[in-house]
Structure 1
């Protein structure tokens, strides 16, 4: 399987096989990508507030990483630019207070993910939580991602398709569920 640089507009799919890129380019040129995504993922999640996002993330952490360090904060962040290939960020901050040190662990997720299917938010959440155990994107990291979400790789690919559509044509879901 050969890979090459993606055709213009497919920057989120860098590294995928040429055959895959050709299929995506064809569907995109035919204007069918948005419809395919809406058919596969018809509903967007309803996690709108930072508190809801924190509780959503804590549920995953408690289920799969209960012995990992505490998670202090999870927020949507409008400053994260997906164009720079960041969907979310994890921060491990150690602060010194006199003779004591305090570790603060937080996850920030790009605000544009307030209105996407649950599967995409789940993929990003799992990805950022996996960094609690594995700092690098290595084999163990992706094994942990798949342990927490068996469909991790499919959701990641479909999220890249969503970002491609967003980049080329704008919103896939419009203002569904926003109120």
Structure 2
């Protein structure tokens, strides 16, 4: 069986359990049972509104967002589930900056908790650019189950990767 690239940093015993679930074709049903809640965020406008609502609740004082979209060009294989960028443009004698968040289109069909986790992750980058202790504290402030959801998302991506196309 090929290596579990989304679970590479986890202990071998845990990876072995996941391999057993895959071999028994039980990973998909396990994920469906655990993460049953779908979301209704299907287009870019709904994604922007969803992200803005989370931002208003937890990061009211942070910089404004100009764009939040689903991006089909993000490569999940390169571990880019979402991106945050600052775009600077010169307009006359002023420098205008705008913040953008792009979410991989795999989250259009993913369970609701995974969409929330990735949006929380990208919003946390508005205040903390690095993946440090303060960054993860902010993530768990916005989503208390952040770490469990991150692991669940890695299992979900492993399931998608293991499915025959």
TM-score category of the 2 structures, normalised to the smaller one: over 0.9
Give 1:167-178 correspondences, 5 Å limit.
Answer: 167-169=161-163
2:46 is matched with which residue: 43, 49, 52? 52
Contact 2:37 / 2:113 at 8 angstroms: preserved in 1?
Answer: no
**Corresponding residue of 1:8:** 2
Q: How far has the Cα of 1:170 moved from its partner?
A: 5.4
**2:73 aligns with one of 66, 75, 79:** 79
Give the SS at the match of 1:143: helix
Contact 2:88 2:95 survives alignment (8 Å): yes
What stretches of structure 2 of length at least 5 have no aligned partner?
A: none
1:150 is displaced (CA, Å) by 0.3
> SS where residue 65 of structure 2 aligns?
coil
Structure 1: give runs of 5+ residues left out of the alignment.
Answer: 1-6, 172-179
Quote the Cα distance in structure 2 between the aligned partners of 1:133 and 1:42.
Answer: 31
In the TM superposition, residue 95 of structure 1 has moved relative to its aligned partner by: 1.3
- Cα offsets for 1:119-141 (capped at 9, x unmatched): 00000000000000000111110
d(CA) in 2 for partners of 1:90 and 1:83?
18
Write the distance in 2 (CA, Å) between the matches of 1:80 and 1:106. Answer: 14
Counterpart Cα distance in 1 of 2:40 and 2:143: 19
Q: Is the 8 A contact 1:9 1:167 kept in 2?
A: no
Using the TM superposition, give the Cα deviation of residue 9 of structure 1 relative to its aligned residue in structure 2, in angstroms: 4.3
| TM-score calculated relative to the size of structure 2 | 0.96
Q: Deviations over 1:33-73 (max 9, x none)?
A: 00000001123211101000000000000000000000111
Q: Do the aligned residues in 1 keep the contact of 2:37 with 2:111 (CA within 8 Å)?
A: yes
- In the TM superposition, 1:117-128 aligns within 5 A as 117-128=111-122
Using structure 1 for the length normalisation, give the TM-score: 0.89
